[in-house]
Structure formats: structure tokens, C-alpha cells
């Protein structure tokens, strides 16, 4: 051991940093003070924070930057090195038509939703736009105001598929 060898490090973990990789296409949309949803996949409580710093440089190899969120950690449940997903709401236009992702069914490799037509349901092929974990933007196939089935849409798909098999026999 030499004179400059560290024996131990003292850390105050009452606050920790969440370092977020910001990809090139989002660099112009992520700003200091912006709200960030931090989700952990290991049972640790998810939190909301704000970006307090954005690195002024972009990595030469990755072309990404780093944003930092300071997290209060009074119970020491957040540990340095933990993995998380950061969700930052970016500016953009609101979807004209959106449906819950549960409403979308795949049939023969195509995306469909079931639209209520009187007393029955019509399968409609749709073109999907932006999505998140709850909703999907519909670019084509459904117009604003039409009623779309989302609870039980899988049952409708199963019945439709069963009927088509019976017709082939």
C-alpha cells in the first residue's frame, strides 16, 4: 500500500443522483427543470423528480448527453448503481384519435380494433402512430367519436378467428 491509496470512502446517501442518458433526437427537447418520472422494476417505489443539470457536452462515441435528477433519499431505499427507466414528457402535438393499447389486436400480422356498429362489432384494420404503455395513436381506420372495444377485444378476436375456421371446414 502506498501513501495515496484510499482505505475507504465516506458517502452521504441522503440524496442520490439519477443519471439519464439523453439520445441525440431528444437533446433539443430535454430542459433543466423538466419533470421526470423514474420507474424502478425491482419493487422500489417509483418517484417524480426534476432535471437539475444537463451535461454541456455530447459523448464522441455515443452522441448522447447526460441529464441529472437529484433524488431525496431519507429512507436510503435508492442505491447508487440501481437501474431505472426515466420517462420525460416531450412537447408534441396531441393525437387526434387514440385508443387504449388493449383495444388493438393482431390478426394475420395486421393491427385491428373492433368498432361498435349498432348491435355488432366491426373489425377495422388500423395504422398505428405513436404509442406509450397505455395508449396508441390511430392514424387510419378509426375516426374521432367512434366507439372502440377495449375490454373484451381479445374475446371478439377469438370468436372471429373461430368463425373463420368453421367457415373453411
Asked if 43 and 79 count as a contact pair (C-beta separation under 8 A), the reply is: no
Where do the domains of the chain lie? 15-87, 98-164
In tens, the pLDDT along 123-161 reads 899 999 888 888 999 999 999 999 888 775 656 666 666
pLDDT of residue 43 exceeding 90: no
Domain 98-164 classification at class level: mainly beta
- Residue 87: alpha-carbon gap to chain centroid: 7
Q: What is the CA radius of gyration of the chain?
A: 24
Using an 8 Å Cβ cutoff, are 149 and 156 in contact? yes
- Of 61-65, 115-119, 122-126, the one with minimum mean pLDDT is 115-119
pTM of the predicted model as reported, rounded to 2 decimal places: 0.56
In this predicted model, what pLDDT tens digit does every residue of 2-18 receive, in sequence order? 788 888 888 889 999 99
Q: Give the SS3 label for residue 6.
A: coil
25 closest CA partner among 69, 70, 85, 88: 88
CATH of 15-87, one of 2.40.30.170, 3.90.1300.10, 3.40.50.2000, 2.40.10.480: 2.40.30.170
Amino acid at each position: 500500500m502506498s501513501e495515496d491509496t484510499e482505505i475507504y470512502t465516506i458517502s452521504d446517501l441522503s440524496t442520490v443522483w439519477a443519471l439519464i442518458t439523453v439520445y441525440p433526437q431528444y437533446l433539443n427537447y430535454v430542459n433543466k427543470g423538466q419533470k421526470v418520472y423514474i420507474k424502478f422494476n425491482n419493487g422500489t417505489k417509483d418517484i417524480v423528480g426534476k432535471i437539475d443539470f444537463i451535461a454541456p457536452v455530447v459523448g464522441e462515441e455515443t452522441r448522447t448527453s447526460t441529464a441529472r435528477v437529484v433524488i431525496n433519499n431519507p429512507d436510503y431505499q435508492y442505491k447508487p448503481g440501481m437501474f431505472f427507466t426515466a420517462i420525460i414528457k416531450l412537447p408534441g402535438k396531441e393525437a387526434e384519435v387514440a385508443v387504449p393499447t388493449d383495444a388493438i389486436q393482431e390478426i394475420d400480422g395486421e393491427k385491428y380494433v373492433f368498432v361498435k356498429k349498432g348491435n355488432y362489432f366491426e373489425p377495422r384494420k388500423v395504422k398505428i402512430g405513436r404509442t406509450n404503455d397505455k395508449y396508441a395513436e390511430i392514424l387510419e381506420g378509426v375516426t374521432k367519436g367512434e366507439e372502440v372495444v377495449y375490454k373484451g377485444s381479445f374475446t371478439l378476436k377469438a370468436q372471429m378467428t373461430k368463425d373463420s375456421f368453421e367457415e373453411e371446414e
